[in-house]
Amino acid sequence: MIRWKIAVFEFKRFLKWKQELATLAIMLVIIASMSAWPQIKGWIDKDYRVAVVGDTMPAIAGYQFTRVGDDRIDEVQANLGKDWDLLLIIRAGELKLVGEKSTSWLEKLTPQLQRWHQQQLIAALPLSAEQQKVIDDLPTVDISYTRESLADEKARKLKRIVGIVYLSVLVTGFFASFGLMFTAITGEKQQRVTEQLLTLVAPREWIDGKIIGVSLFSLKTIATYGLITVLIIQGASLISGGTSLSIPLGALELVCMLGFLIMGILLLNTFLAGFAATIDDPNHSGRTVVMLLPGLLLGAVFMVMDNAEGQAMQLLSWLPLTSFSAMPLRVMSSDVPWWEWLGSLALLIGFVVWLSRASARVFELGIRMYGKEPRWSDIAAALFNRR
Of 269, 259, 264, nearest to 177 (Cα)?
269
Q: What is the pLDDT of residue 382?
A: 81
Q: What is the pLDDT of residue 187?
A: 74
What dihedral do alpha carbons 52, 58, 62, 65 form, nearest 10°? 30
pLDDT (tens digit per residue) in 15-64: 777 777 777 777 777 777 777 776 776 677 778 899 999 888 888 888 89
Of 225, 139, 222, nearest to 174 (Cα)?
222
What percentage of residues in the chain have a pLDDT greater than 70?
A: 91
Which ranges constitute the DSSP H helices of 250-292? Answer: 251-276
Give the mean pLDDT of 257-268: 92
Q: What is the pLDDT of residue 309?
A: 80
pLDDT (tens digit per residue) in 325-356: 999 988 888 888 889 999 999 999 999 999 98
* The Cα angle at residue 105 between residues 99 and 107, in degrees rounded to 5: 80
Q: Round to whole Å and give the CA distance between 7 and 2.
A: 9
Give the mean pLDDT of 117-145: 82
pLDDT of residue 243 exceeding 80: no
Q: What is the pLDDT of residue 22?
A: 77
Length of the chain: 387
Burial 2-14 (b: 16+ CB within 10 A, else e): ebeebbeebbeeb
Do the beta carbons of residue 381 and residue 354 sit within 8 Å? no
DSSP per position, 6-69:
HHHHHHHHH--HHHHHHHHHHHHHHHHHHHHHHHHHHHHSPPEEEEEESS-----TTEEEEE--
Q: Round to whole Å and give the CA distance between 359 and 80.
A: 70
144 three-class SS: coil
247 three-class SS: coil
pLDDT of residue 13 exceeding 80: no
Angle between helices 338-368 and 251-276 (to 10 degrees): 20
Q: What is the pLDDT of residue 110?
A: 92
Q: What is the pLDDT of residue 32?
A: 74
Phi, psi of 87, rounded to the nearest 5 degrees: -115, 125
Instruction: Give the chain's largest Cα–Cα span.
Output: 95
Burial 133-161 (b: 16+ CB within 10 A, else e): eeeeeeeeeeeeeeeeeeeeeebbebbbe
pLDDT of residue 270 exceeding 70: yes
387 three-class SS: coil
Poorest-pLDDT segment among 65-69, 220-224, 349-353: 220-224
**Sheet of 94-99: strands edge to edge?**
63-67, 48-53, 86-91, 94-99
Q: Round to whole Å and give the CA distance between 113 and 67.
A: 15
pLDDT (tens digit per residue) in 178-192: 878 777 777 777 777
Of 277, 238, 291, nearest to 373 (Cα)?
277
How far, in Å, are 123, 174, 259, 268, 294 from residue 301 at the CA level? 47, 14, 18, 15, 11
Q: What is the pTM of this model?
A: 0.70
